[in-house]
Structure 1
Amino acid sequence: MRMTALSAVLALSVTAAAQSQPAAQALLDQGKWQEAASAGAALNTSAGLTLAAEATTAGASLVPDNQKKALFQKAQDYASAAIAKDRSNADAYFELARAQGRLAQFVGVFQSLGLAKDVKANLDKALELNPKMAGGYVALGLWNATLDSGGLKGAIAVQATGASRSNVAPNFEKAISLEPNTPIHRIEYANALLLQGKKAEAAAQLDKAVAMPAVTFWEKRDLEQAKATLAKLR
């Protein structure tokens, strides 16, 4: 009887966690990033902490610039904690890379180059664990485009990291082949193309993106920004 009761308790615990993770995801989809981060972290699971990292990084886009760095650092902490709980969690490595990439914008040149190398290592690990992670290829495409964006600073970054604009298109094409109906992939591709001065090609990607449906708060926001960018390119 004792083992049966224990089994029942464990079953109830698993069910509760399964219900809580979707609830946290629903909060994030609604744009309630602070509540989503708290709910995800409260689960104290690798998946929950990964969601907390994602929510915190997303939320940083909505706050004043002087608050962003602390949020990216918090997101980095959440993702690192998620990895500590499950080193096979590809999404956790991806969120760590994303937080580090955003954080690099708010630190000195040498520290940012160090973070850039960490970003690449974590993206490579995420894709090693999940070769079909479209977002990972998008991030790699942006990584190469941002670091090899021309000028003296770009030349230094290329030498330090090995980034190359020749790797931009292949990564984005891979992501789009995996998830052809995800607008953010094309929006980010357009951003990468704009870094290379390819306005016509960027506009073509944005044209395809804005024709796609948006469901979540973040998708709707991305599409509104894409429409604004497209209008400026016309």
Structure 2
Amino acid sequence: MNTKHWAPFPHDSTPFNYDGQDLLDAWPELHRGDQEPLPDDERIVEAWRLYHAGDFAGAVDLATEIGIAAHAVANKASGIYADYLEEDEDIKQAIYETGIAHAEQAISTYPDDANAHYFRAFLLGRYSQCISITKALSQGVGGKIRESLETALKLAPEHAEAHTALGVYHAEIIDKIGKMIGGMTYGASTDEAMKHFERALELTPNAPIANLEYGNGLYLLFGDKRLDDSNAAYEKAASIEPIDAMQKLDVEYAKASV
């Protein structure tokens, strides 16, 4: 993946520079959402250090040198970069496509790694938003996303980001094609969406992304009927003190939206 022209992190990264033991001490909280275990390989730890500080290109470059063992940090760094900082739609889509292939390789190599499955779903979801949810569903992407998320949750039941993503899966299908067809064709359900959003918030109440996507989900599922609740979720996200670069991007997005 060519990261030469990637945009830099647009905020002060000083608060997110976890040097030495600081990263190890902060690891459980930093990875509460994705349940990524602390790696044995010091170079993978260093790639995560770069990721948390907002050096997404550096994290991807180091992870690429390491190889498939660093798939999780490579896919999270590239996915977050594309989602928030890449303005060229073609480049953004290419990043997602590369990440999907990388995640599928990781699944073949590490079938019991929850994040191999989760990041496949995450990147497929972002790819779907690039090409339109309806078009992605016609290509069979929806089933792949659900399969990967359900597998991730079997392997890591407290994977809050997977719960959030599964809530989004149900909500976006219902929003795009309706409850009846969405339920019959894809198993989409309002109750299931809410169950997963609420579980993510139970597991990570102070994760900006869990609150943001809950707000999005409420609007997709209920429209103006739950607009106040949707806005409140965005306000909660905007009020959180971020602990790494991804959270900073989430918080700033929420602040710009309230």
What TM bracket, shorter-length normalisation? 0.7 to 0.9
2:80 corresponds to 1:55:
no
Q: Work out whether residues 56 and 74 of structure 1, in 8 Å CA contact, stay in contact via their aligned partners in 2.
A: no
**Equivalent in the alignment of 1:162:** 187
Equivalent of residue 157 in structure 2, options 124, 128, 131: 131
Q: Letter of the aligned partner of 2:158 in structure 1? A: K
Q: Work out whether residues 60 and 77 of structure 2, in 8 Å CA contact, stay in contact via their aligned partners in 1.
A: yes
My pick for the range that moved more, 221-230 or 154-163, is 154-163
**Alpha-carbon shift at residue 76 of structure 1 (Å):** 0.5
My pick for the range that moved more, 152-161 or 162-171, is 152-161
- Distance (Å, rounded) in 2 between the aligned partners of 1:179 and 1:67: 31
- Distance (Å, rounded) in 2 between the aligned partners of 1:67 and 1:73: 10
Q: Work out whether residues 24 and 37 of structure 1, in 8 Å CA contact, stay in contact via their aligned partners in 2.
A: yes
Q: Work out whether residues 105 and 112 of structure 1, in 8 Å CA contact, stay in contact via their aligned partners in 2.
A: no
**Equivalent in the alignment of 1:42:** 65
RMSD over equivalenced CA pairs, Å:
2.1
Equivalent of residue 88 in structure 1, options 108, 112, 122: 112
- Distance (Å, rounded) in 2 between the aligned partners of 1:121 and 1:141: 14
**Equivalent in the alignment of 1:99:** 123
2:55 corresponds to 1:32:
yes
**Alpha-carbon shift at residue 136 of structure 1 (Å):** 0.9
Query: Which has the larger share of helix?
Result: 1
2:208 corresponds to 1:208:
no
* Contiguous gaps of at least 5 residues in structure 2: 1-38
Task: Output one character per residue of 1:201-232: Cα deviation in whole Å (capped at 9) or x when no partner.
Answer: 111212222222112222111111111221xx
Tell me the SS of whatever aligns to 1:131.
coil
- Distance (Å, rounded) in 1 between the aligned partners of 2:188 and 2:65: 38
Q: TM-score, normalised by structure 2?
A: 0.76
Equivalent of residue 142 in structure 2, options 109, 116, 122: 116
Q: Which has the higher contact order (CA 8 A, sep 6+)?
A: 2
Tell me the SS of whatever aligns to 2:175.
coil
**Equivalent in the alignment of 2:45:** 22
Task: Output one character per residue of 1:75-101: Cα deviation in whole Å (capped at 9) or x when no partner.
Answer: 111211222221110011000001111
Q: TM-score, normalised by structure 1?
A: 0.83
Q: Letter of the aligned partner of 2:202 in structure 1? A: S
Tell me the SS of whatever aligns to 1:149.
helix
Identity value in percent: 27
* Contiguous gaps of at least 5 residues in structure 1: 1-15
> Structure 1 residues 122, 148: CA separation in 2 closer, same or farther (over 3 Å shift)?
same
Q: Letter of the aligned partner of 2:256 in structure 1? A: A
Q: Work out whether residues 179 and 189 of structure 2, in 8 Å CA contact, stay in contact via their aligned partners in 1.
A: no
Q: Letter of the aligned partner of 2:123 in structure 1? A: A
Larger-gyration structure (1/2) = 1
Q: Letter of the aligned partner of 2:67 in structure 1? A: N
My pick for the range that moved more, 139-148 or 110-119, is 110-119
> Structure 1 residues 111, 138: CA separation in 2 closer, same or farther (over 3 Å shift)?
closer
2:243 corresponds to 1:219:
no
- Distance (Å, rounded) in 1 between the aligned partners of 2:178 and 2:210: 26
**Equivalent in the alignment of 2:173:** 147
Q: Letter of the aligned partner of 1:210 in structure 2? A: A
Q: How many residues align?
A: 213
